[in-house]
Chain A
Amino acid sequence: MNLDFLDFEQPIAELLAKIEELRYVTTDSKINISQEIARLEAKSRELTKAIFSSLDAMQVVKLARHPQRPHTLDYIERIFTNFDELFGDRHFAKGTAIIGGTARLNDRPVMIIGQQKGRTTKENLERNFAMPNPEEYRKALRLMEMAEKFQLPVFTFIDTPGAYPGIGAEERNQSEAISRNLFAMSKLRTPIICTVIGEGGSGGALALGVGDKVLMLQYSIYATISPEGCASILWRSQDKLAEAAEAMHLTAEKLFKLKLIDQIVSEPLGGAHRNYEVMAQNLKQALIDDLTHLRKMPMDKLLQSRYEKLMSFGR
């Protein structure tokens, strides 16, 4: 089994392996190898299309959590220029699960804030598996308020299993760190564009998720609780994980239909992790279009429509 591929992608992996093998066959054989390779490559694309056209919710969850999936820093590198990382909530900690700072988008200054997952165990330990502590939400709030002061639009990138459930996190009032961000973001006097790039886990995701536009990448997820948590509480069994994931309506497609998000950003064939450049280009274009639109709105109108959208949830 090829570990770069998820379980449901194994037929694709097998085909690709066959193609690789063919490439090393010496050319003196009778059949035209390059033709055969082209044929198999076309077949692999068709197969990928077929598999990805009917993904179930749990398969999307796996893609959203794929270790090779591009994370916040991968997008910062490809979409923005001149990123200056800024640290600290000024009271307690530097903050590594949430990164933030100023940058430029098409030469114009902006503020970026996002959760950062790691790829290796070491990186994940450093990033606390992208599960922020309260001071990291406070750092995010500090940067958002700075963005308001200097009229920089805010881009948030959401990718977290959830806010960190720890003893220290409770001592330092995780609840208030989250609620304060919801409170402040609802009235921040600068455009806010939020993108769920991978895992949108619960209140820990929402604390960076209140804005004028909320985008989701095609194979990202956004939910009140993890499917594992939901299955264990409501079904009392992990055997019902797939059923829980389906019932929760956590995919971009379903959330768009429910009008809880504004836009879905297409992923390259086989998912964002198969082509970072194409994914970043798609997202960059969407962000630029949205920002251009939002910049045209007078501030009071922007805030009013942000407020009205929040009020519409569940109506």
Chain B
Amino acid sequence: MSWFKRLITTKISTNYSDKKGVPEGIWAKCNACNAPVYHAELERNLFVCLKCGYHFRITARQRIDMFLDKDGRYELAEEVRPVDRLKFKDVKKYKDRLAAAQEAAGENDALVAMKGRVKGIQVVGTFFDFSFIGGSMGAAVGEKFVCAVDACFAERLPLINFSASGGARMQEGLISLMQMAKTSAALAKLAAADIPFISVLTDPTTGGVSASLATLGDIIIAEPGALIGFAGQRVIEQTVRQQLPEGFQRSQFLLDHGAIDMIVSRHDMRNIIASLLAKLLHLEQPPADEFN
């Protein structure tokens, strides 16, 4: 199956396929180059293929572990939980989908907000979890994000968001669309206070998340090879009836079209972000981590 067929994002919608996550077991196969990789080795390499550099999708907690300093972490808005306000039911009840996702991911919803440090610099991080209903943004994700922004605002801490989302959560109807306005308004308040916001786009960032908080960073960084865009590729193909160009909506495409500041590999993420933040905050240059 080609990579674009696995993605079913339609405009601002949810993406359910999560076949690119980290495979279970002792041996894994790279999604990009098919090379067999030893799982423990993959983990040591921050879930980046040792052969081809493909960045596997990772969970919010895995991201936090590799990004924030080990000590001084404090989770924010942990108590915020999703509510099924519409009593939504498609082939499954939304309530049951939520319960299953919570069980599988061990999270309340698709976003984790964490206060912590990056090389000693105090920050607030928000981390999307694509394994939780495609990282889709409903009321709980919006609320957690706003709580994180409020914490930044109160203590003048920079915000770093790692997005991985198919878009708005359809099962919450228009409430989910309104989270785009809610999160963007909170970021406008943060910007007015001259507090930095760094947005890191990881695979995938599409639809309602891409068209709100994710594209509002002072600095926007993408991981290599990430799918980033507004509309889903099938929808675009059906609309324009043309074959999509090679590498369409991938990180390099966004860089080439001026949509992002830089592409940064997972290994360099801490170094680059700490270095950027230190300048924006007028702090001394932090020492570079030596990876491995």
Residues of A within 8 A of B (CB): 162-167, 169-176, 178-180, 182-184, 186-187, 201-204, 206-207, 209-210, 222-226, 229-230, 232-236, 240, 244, 247-250, 255, 258, 260, 307, 310-311, 313-315
Contacts and interface: CB of A to CB of B under 8 A. Distances in A.
A249 B90 contact: no
Contacts of A165: 11, 230-232, 235-236, 239
Interface in B172-201: 172-182, 184-189, 191-192
Contacts of A314: 138-140, 142-143, 172, 175, 178-179, 182
B176 A224 contact: yes
B13 interface: yes
Interface stretch (B19-27, B81-89, B275-283): B81-89
Given A176-B215, A224-B174, A202 B182 contact: no
Interface in B48-88: 85-86, 88
Interface in B189-236: 189, 191-192, 207-208, 210-216, 228-232, 235-236
Contacts of A186: 181, 184-185, 188
Contacts of A248: 86, 170, 173
Given A179-B213, A224-B174, 8 more contacts: A165-B232, A170-B229, A173-B258, A179-B210, A235-B90, A260-B178, A314-B139, A314-B179
B11 A229 contact: yes
B154 interface: no
Interface of B: 8, 10-14, 85-86, 88-91, 138-140, 142-143, 146, 168, 170-182, 184-189, 191-192, 207-208, 210-216, 228-232, 235-236, 239-240, 242, 244-245, 248-249, 253, 257-259
B213 A224 contact: no
A248 B139 CA distance: 15
Contacts of A162: 11-12
A234 B216 contact: no
A172 B168 CA distance: 22
Contacts of B184: 179, 182-183, 186, 210
B208 A166 contact: no
B254 to A, nearest CB: 8
A180 B12 contact: no
B230 A178 contact: yes
A175 B211 contact: yes
Contacts of A182: 180-181, 184-185, 212
